[in-house]
Chain A
Amino acid sequence: SQQGEEDPQALSIQEGENATMNCSYKTSINNLQWYRQNSGRGLVHLILIRSNEREKHSGRLRVTLDTSKKSSSLLITASRAADTASYFCATDARAAGNKLTFGGGTRVLVKP
């Protein structure tokens, strides 16, 4: 079973627009990470946010974490065609043996 559920499952935007995707999880976590996957290949780590942090930035990425709602969001600003990919949240929680548990992902299409 998967801890995180991403919403929406798919997203289509124009180049230059912002893309926002959300992740909800079920149990208390230590950390939450976001990964990107291009064309069903290997995943690339984007950002990690700890349970005691509320917001984190990395370049055009902004991640928020609301532990009271058990949810996180990933915002990609000024999207580019190269941002077309699937985005996954992954949590590590004591209940899961501190191993990474991935959600189902959001497929993002950025149209030029």
Chain B
Amino acid sequence: DAGVTQSPTHLIKTRGQHVTLRCSPISGHKSVSWYQQVLGQGPQFIFQYYEKEERGRGNFPDRFSARQFPNYSSELNVNALLLGDSALYLCASSFLAVATETQYFGPGTRLLVL
């Protein structure tokens, strides 16, 4: 069975641009969460979606948005990129949207903002 997949694997953008990151959950999983991991730090929660509805949002500005599609895949969008948005963006899927569910992480998308 395929695990969580994310695309692209690497991305270079310049300040002010927009970026879209994509995630496909494990088959049968209905919840997708997004995390930002700055180099040398732990992941920080950005969003969680379950059954196409937002179930939680972390402390991130409105430049960050996300959505989940009927096939449970998800997109994370970041507008007006800043240098500080450079990070590894991780997607995780689980069957339910509860914290006790094991979350399965994808390999991440490494974003560099110049």
Binding site for B on A (CB under 8 A): 1-2, 4, 30-31, 35, 40-45, 48, 50, 88, 90, 92, 97-105
B58 touches A99 (CB 8 A): yes
Instruction: Please state if B88 and A40 are interface contacts (CB–CB under 8 Å).
Output: yes
Instruction: Judge whether A42 and B43 touch: CB under 8 Å.
Output: no
Asked if A97 and B44 make an inter-chain contact with CB atoms under 8 angstroms apart, the answer reads no
Contacts of A104 in B (CB 8 A): 40-42
Q: How far is the CA of A88 from the CA of B102 in the complex (A)?
A: 14
B72 contacts A by Cβ under 8 Å: no
Q: Number of contacting residues on B, CB 8 A?
A: 29
Report yes or no: A31 in contact with B108, Cβ–Cβ below 8 A: no
| A-contacting residues, B22-80, CB 8 Å | 33, 35, 37, 39-45, 48, 56, 58-59
Given contacts A2-B44, A101-B45, contact A43 B98 (CB under 8 A): no
Q: Is the CB of A48 within 8 A of B42?
A: no
Which of A1, A31, A42, A92 is B90 in contact with, Cβ under 8 Å? A42
Chain A residue numbers with a CB within 8 Å of B42 are 2, 4, 88, 90, 102-105
Shortest CB distance B66–A (Å): 14
Docked complex Cα distance between A92 and B101 (Å): 11
B43 touches A43 (CB 8 A): yes
Decide: A99 and B107 in contact? CB cutoff 8 A. Answer: no
Taking a contact as CB atoms closer than 8 A, the residue among A2, A31, A97, A105 that contacts B100 in the complex is A31
Decide: B103 and A100 in contact? CB cutoff 8 A: yes
Q: Nearest CB to that of A105 among chain B residues?
A: B42
Which of these, B41, B56, B107, contacts A97 with CB under 8 Å? Answer: B56
Q: Does B104 contact A (CB under 8 A)?
A: yes
